[in-house]
Structure 1
Amino acid sequence: MPHPALDLILQRTSVNHFDPSFSVDEATLAELVRYASEAPSAYNFQNWHFIAVHSTARKAQLCEMAYGQRKVLESSATFIVCGRLRPHLGLRDALKRFQDTGHVDAETVAAMVDSAIQTYADDAQMQRDEAIRSASLAAMTLMIAAQAMGLASGPMIGFDPDQVRAGFDLADDELPVLLVTVGRPAPGNWPRKPRRPATDVLAIV
Structure 2
Amino acid sequence: MDVIDAIYKRRSIKQFDPDHKMSTEEETQLLEAMIQAPTSFNIQHWRFVILRDPELRATIRTELGNDQAQMTDASLLVLFTADTKAWEKAPERYWQNSPQAVSDLLVGWMGPFHEGREWLQRDEAQRSVGMAMQTLMLAAQDLGYQSCPMIGFDIDKVAELIGLPDDHVMGPMVAVGKGTKDAWPKPGQLPLSEVVFENKFS
d(CA) in 2 for partners of 1:65 and 1:168? 13
* Larger displacement relative to structure 2 (192-201 or 28-37): 192-201
Contact 1:86-1:120 at 8 Å conserved across structures:
no
Tell me the percent identity. 27
d(CA) in 1 for partners of 2:60 and 2:48? 14
d(CA) in 1 for partners of 2:21 and 2:60? 17
The 5 A counterparts of 1:1-205 are: 4-63=2-61, 64-90=63-89, 91-96=91-96, 98-99=97-98, 104-105=99-100, 107-187=101-181, 189-205=183-199
d(CA) in 2 for partners of 1:24 and 1:175? 28
Structure 2: which 5+ runs fail to align?
A: none
Contact 2:71-2:77 at 8 Å conserved across structures:
yes
**TM-score, scaled relative to structure 2:** 0.89
* Larger displacement relative to structure 2 (141-150 or 114-123): 114-123
1:110-129 deviations in Å (ceiling 9; x for gaps): 33223111111221111110
RMSD: 1.8
1:33-66 deviations in Å (ceiling 9; x for gaps): 1101011111011111111212322211332332
The total of aligned residue pairs comes to 197
* Larger displacement relative to structure 2 (47-56 or 122-131): 47-56
SS class of match (2:72): helix
d(CA) in 2 for partners of 1:196 and 1:60? 36
Give the AA of the match of 1:29.
Answer: E
**TM-score, scaled relative to structure 1:** 0.88
